[in-house]
Amino acid sequence: MRLSLKVDSSAFQVPSLVMHDFDIITTPRITTFPFVQSTVFKDPTKQRELAILFIAKSQLCAQIEEILKAEYEVRMQRPPHMANVPNRMLLYPKTCKETESVERLDRQLVFWEASLPDICTYRGPVELPDPRDPTVYVILHQIILSLVHQAVIATLHRPNAKATTRGNPAAASSSQLSNLRVVHATNSIAHMAADLGRLRLDGYLPSAAVTALLPAILTLITQWRESNSDHARQELMRNIVYCRLALETLRQVYSSGEYGSHMIRVALGC
């Protein structure tokens, strides 16, 4: 995982987003801009729902910062034999594991999720919505929020799931629970990737979706290789395909998507 060189938390002392920070347009008056013709600008209710989703995303970003500080350490890396290339700041799992920290951060995530308004919960549409319906905007941002949320859960628990616990029953139990959390989060990401393709919304994802999809695919590939059940392997491969299709769409938009697709091809031996 990469951490931007330009982000310094001490440089940003701003209050959290609240509903009053958003301008809800009840009567669009500026007609010279094409985006004002969007159906969401004619629906104040949908605007409020989107604002709630944006507030939830900002809250999740604060959780991400805590998790990265607790579970990962920053290292500088320069490509070999490339002295003119600037150092890159990369995140690596910490060698010293603190089970209590993982459990505390997991409880924070659970509490945050439980406190979310109902509109922030993605349940999946029963049928394909009309593309002109402003509900499509809400569904897209519900998926983005849930996609990043599940990726955060996997990011938190992945180092603990892979930790060596020989001779420590308590640590082994914690590691097993973390592994289950990673598997559940990965499957959730795959199901959302399938919905994105079915709804034809995968082309509207932000670049953060690459960060969510790539570790999920690698986890699915590992499970597929280790599984001895034909049924389980078929299900895992189906989930891999769903995620790869979404990643291929992002590959056409973001350079990180191209990099991620190459990593997956290498992992699969393609």
Pairing of strands 88-93, 72-77: antiparallel
Amino acid at 110: V
Tell me: pLDDT of 6 over 60.
no
- For residues 258 and 249, is the Cβ–Cβ distance under 8 A? no
Burial environment of residue 50 by CB neighbours within 10 A (0 to 12, 13 to 18, 19 or more): buried
Residue-wise pLDDT tens digits, 238-256: 999 999 999 999 999 898 8
CA dihedral over 28, 55, 152, 87, signed as positive or negative: positive
Cα–Cα distance between 164 and 255 in angstroms, integer? 35
Query: How is the chain split into domains, by residue range?
Result: 15-171
Q: What distance, in Å, lies between the first and last C-alpha atoms of the chain?
A: 23
pLDDT tens track for 58-84: 999 988 988 888 877 777 665 555 555
How far apart CA 201 and CA 178 sit, in angstroms, is 31
Instruction: Find the mean pLDDT for residues 136-142.
Output: 92
Write b or e for each residue in 208-242: b if 16 or more Cβ atoms lie within 10 A of its Cβ, otherwise e.
Answer: ebbbbbbbbbbbbbebbeeeeeeeeeebbeebbbb
Supply 178's token pair: 């973390």
Report H helices in the chain.
44-71, 99-115, 135-161, 169-199, 208-226, 230-251, 255-268
pTM attached to this predicted model:
0.84
